[in-house]
Amino acid sequence: MIIHPRMSKKKIAKVIYVIENFIVNKNHNNPNEKALEQQERYCTILQKLIGGSPGKKDDLDKNEARNLVVALDLYNVLKTDNVTVCWDVEIEKLHHELKKRFSELYNESVYDTETLNQRG
């Protein structure tokens, strides 16, 4: 369970805010993937975050957890494309917290560094 049962409501609300932002915002779309598929992916994550209790049966699977952590990481990058917008330090801290939790749970990195090294 990527969202710890004792995670504060404030942090969960921040995560939900970021996921809602990804559903509405079209800037994050991967050109190789249909926008509707990405929107459905984030809607599923949002439904699980809102519908169930964190850490219970509706917890995110591994791929959903990875997508959640990546969304938290991309949020600030996409948000700060606009020069007048500031970096959200709370989201960054939350990203690092969940990234660490993901690594502990699944014994792997959120990002596939092997694939990145092959491209470079």
Residue 56: predicted pLDDT: 57
Interacting residues of 103 by C-beta distance below 8 A, sequence separation 6+: 109, 110
Is 1 among the domain residues? Answer: no
Is 60 among the domain residues? Answer: yes
Q: Give the integer Cα–Cα distance in Å for 10 and 44.
A: 21
Domain interval for residue 67: 9-119
pLDDT, tens digit (0-9, with 9 covering 90-100), for 23-40: 887 555 555 566 677 788
Is 41 among the domain residues? Answer: yes
**90's tokens:** 């709370």
Is 4 among the domain residues? Answer: no
pLDDT, tens digit (0-9, with 9 covering 90-100), for 54-77: 555 457 899 999 999 999 998 888
30 compared with 90, residue with greater pLDDT:
90
Is 61 among the domain residues? Answer: yes
Is 2 among the domain residues? Answer: no
**117's tokens:** 């090294």
Is 3 among the domain residues? Answer: no
pLDDT value at 115 more than 60: no
Is 33 among the domain residues? Answer: yes
- The total domain count for the chain is 1
**pTM, rounded to two decimals:** 0.79
Residue 85 pLDDT grade (very low, low, confident, very high; cuts 50, 70, 90): confident
* Cα torsion 40, 46, 51, 54: sign: positive
pLDDT, tens digit (0-9, with 9 covering 90-100), for 9-20: 999 999 999 999
